[in-house]
Chains A and B, each alone.
Chain A
């Protein structure tokens, strides 16, 4: 370890046992990553408060009892419980208690009770070019790609350690030379009908992640400028299938006014021309349930739904009563708005279950059901639901999801190609 790191370790250890522990973790990460020094960070987003087992609680409480406090503004990702009481989690007894202790420990460390995986839509928007330490794969991708702030993909023990020390290893996406695109994904061969469809964003995100692995690429050839929710859907899907921390979209994202600029003026290593066949395969991979004749539940909101997405949901529902429950996951920043406008009660009357502070793949919310079938429009839910909920997945658009929830049967718009 370098002398600077040793000196920083001593300095932090003087702040107390918790700060010392955090600094040892940051320093060890720097060593693993080959970072020569640490840099100051402006903010953090902490993905550590979901309960996965006792060790996570012991870890967080050890930081608390060591007197640790975050040194920078730190928002919290989802926890395992909906503290607003909008939805009910099937965590009982000791598990429920531990999940609550976990969330409380992170609040005691000084983190903000934002409890959302879309902190960038809840007012946490670091300026372009600033260094931050964010966890949660979709938040990391959005922060780097859409906001142009600089973060690596922080694991959920390292993010809190960075927030407590106010430092991060100087490497990876904090360094400009590593933010340059090495490959180009060319969409010009895809049919216009697909490129203008809502599903293009999560499906192409999912394909991008699988092709990119952990490298940075630039996508060229979108026919329209996406809104923030579409960028959010693309990034979350990409970060599920690959170790993606940053993508560029030519003419769309801030570090990619052009393909050439995104590539830093260098010739890219590869240009991949996306074919309709590749897109169809990527779309098929999102579904795991084979020709189901019913839908047991619908889940949307990974990443957490924005107010605009709730408005679209209401419009698509058109006042119809649901045959299958529709779980709509969001943060409390949106809940306040839903309550003000009365949208919450209007949606709940139709059978929508609003899930706040958490989501259906991090904690048991869906009824335990053998061979259950879940429909979703989220590339991220599609990726994680089979393992984390036991449900098979049918993937469709938001409009497909609403139609299916109303009828209780899978309704898919097959006319995209």
Chain B
């Protein structure tokens, strides 16, 4: 089974979920519904997918500087991904997790992993463990 060690950008509660690998950069504001976690940008290839509870792989972020608030709202409303895996640190998005911590909310970890390595986690049941360990633990579709 696939294992990768990512850099920990923001510590959080280790979690597991289906790997959702975005194939295009995303703007959280205007891209993700803060109340449901659904991707709502009609121009985004993964439009209609829901990021809540997923191990979310993000190749890059674009657009509005409101991304941090959207992520904060998702954490507050328990619709955040189980873990976020970025290509590199993105201070705009990740400050949503920093603010969530200030408000005493339990928030997911954010990791950095080369975007070329993201696709192997697509639709696979993935564990985001402590110390940045990302591990495929089963095929999400068959539930094994």
Contact = CB atoms under 8 A, between A and B. Distances in A.
A383 interface: yes
Contacts of B62: 209, 213, 241-243
A50 B66 contact: yes
A55 B102 contact: no
Given A33-B89, A62-B103, A288-B42, A155 B63 contact: no
A137 B29 CA distance: 11
Nearest to A384: B30
B43 A32 contact: no
Interface string A253-289: 0000000000000000000000000000000010010
A199 B103 CA distance: 45
B102 A156 contact: no
A273 B2 CA distance: 42
Contacts of B40: 387
Given A54-B76, A243-B60, A387-B30, A135 B65 contact: yes
Nearest to A50: B66
Interface in B79-96: 89-96
Nearest to B44: A387
A89 B3 CA distance: 49
Interface in A214-264: 214, 239-243
A48 B99 CA distance: 13
B68 A156 contact: yes
Contacts of A56: 69, 72-73
Interface string A130-168: 000001110010000000000011111111000000000
A344 interface: no
Interface stretch (A21-29, A310-318, A408-416): A21-29
A39 to B, nearest CB: 15
A154 B65 contact: yes
Given A33-B89, A386-B42, A140 B98 contact: no
Contact of A47 (B30, B66, B90): B66
Contact of B31 (A25, A241, A361, A387): A387
State the main secondary structure of chain A at its contact with B: helix
A62 B65 contact: no
B34 interface: yes
B77 interface: yes
A67 interface: no
B63 A240 contact: yes
A87 to B, nearest CB: 21
B9 interface: yes
Contacts of A319: none
Interface residues on B, range: 35 or more
A239 B67 CA distance: 13
Interface in A13-63: 21, 24-25, 28-29, 32-34, 47-48, 50, 52-56, 58-59, 62
Contacts of A156: 65-66, 68-69
Nearest to A55: B76
B72 to A, nearest CB: 5
A212 to B, nearest CB: 10
Interface in B29-85: 29-31, 34-35, 40-43, 60-70, 72-73, 75-77
A47 B64 CA distance: 10
Interface string B93-134: 111101110110100000000000000000000000000000
Contacts of A240: 27, 63-64
Nearest to B100: A55
A66 B29 CA distance: 28
Given A52-B34, A361-B30, A239 B95 contact: no
Contacts of B75: 55
Interface of A: 21, 24-25, 28-29, 32-34, 47-48, 50, 52-56, 58-59, 62, 135-137, 140, 152-159, 169, 209, 213-214, 239-243, 285, 288, 361, 383-384, 386-388
6 contacts: A33-B89, A52-B34, A55-B103, A157-B98, A383-B63, A386-B42
Given A47-B66, A58-B103, 7 more contacts: A32-B90, A32-B95, A56-B73, A137-B65, A155-B66, A156-B68, A239-B63
